[in-house]
Amino acid sequence: MRIEAVRGDITEQDVDAIVNAANSSLMGGGGVDGAIHRAAGPQLLEECMELRRTDLPDGLPVGQAVPTAGYALRAPWVIHTVGPNRHRGETDPALLAACFTSSLDVADAVGARTVAFPAVSAGVYGWDPAEVARVAVDAVRGWTGDVELVRFVLFDDAVLAAFTRALDAP
């Protein structure tokens, strides 16, 4: 598997699936979540509402992932995952790693071979970007499946630098 890090807008990635750093309600929000919902269009929210009515009445648990269609996005799939919130005491790196591995499991299950990830939990959820980068890169490197490309799409130079350092580490 090829792993790369770029600075950019995850909603504009030409990949099979983009990962949404969602909240457990799946109803959109700020940051990456809000940007993906806006770019995908109202059908994404409708599908998320249906998931809440049926399969996920209590919301999506931290560390798990679920797919939806991409609608108006270039990517045909959006994989929603809920990162741990450090401000709520969710500090276990294994929970954060599960976001990446469960998203890759879902990508594999839907046939996605190229996947773009944001820096899950590095924003408003309070995790240090360098720690997110180390956990994310280690999780992706340790995962086995048929995904051919993982692209970390980062929103600023500092976060990109943290991911570049993690990728350069042995």
Using DSSP bridges, classify how beta strands 77-82 and 65-69 pair: parallel, antiparallel or unpaired.
Answer: antiparallel
Are 45 and 27 contacting, i.e. CB atoms less than 8 angstroms apart?
Answer: yes
Taking only the tens place, the pLDDT of each residue in 103-121 is 999 999 999 999 999 999 9
In the three-class reduction of DSSP (H, G, I as helix; E, B as strand; rest coil), residue 52 is classed as: helix
- What pLDDT does 52 receive? 97
How high does pLDDT run on average in the chain? 97
- Measured at the CA of 2, the angle between CA 70 and CA 7, to 5 degrees, comes to 60
Q: Is the pTM of this model over 0.95?
A: yes
- What pLDDT does 47 receive? 98
d(CA 128, CA 158): 11
**Is it the case that residue 170 has pLDDT exceeding 90?**
no
Confidence band, pLDDT 50/70/90 cuts, at residue 29: confident
- What pLDDT does 41 receive? 97
Distance of alpha carbon 44 from its chain centroid, rounded? 16
- What pLDDT does 21 receive? 97
Taking only the tens place, the pLDDT of each residue in 41-67 is 999 999 999 999 999 999 999 999 999
Are 151 and 15 contacting, i.e. CB atoms less than 8 angstroms apart?
Answer: yes
Instruction: Give the chain's domains with CATH numbers.
Output: 2-168 (3.40.220.10)
Confidence band, pLDDT 50/70/90 cuts, at residue 123: confident
Residue 9 falls in the annotated catalytic set: no
Q: Which of 9, 33, 58, 168 is catalytic?
A: 33
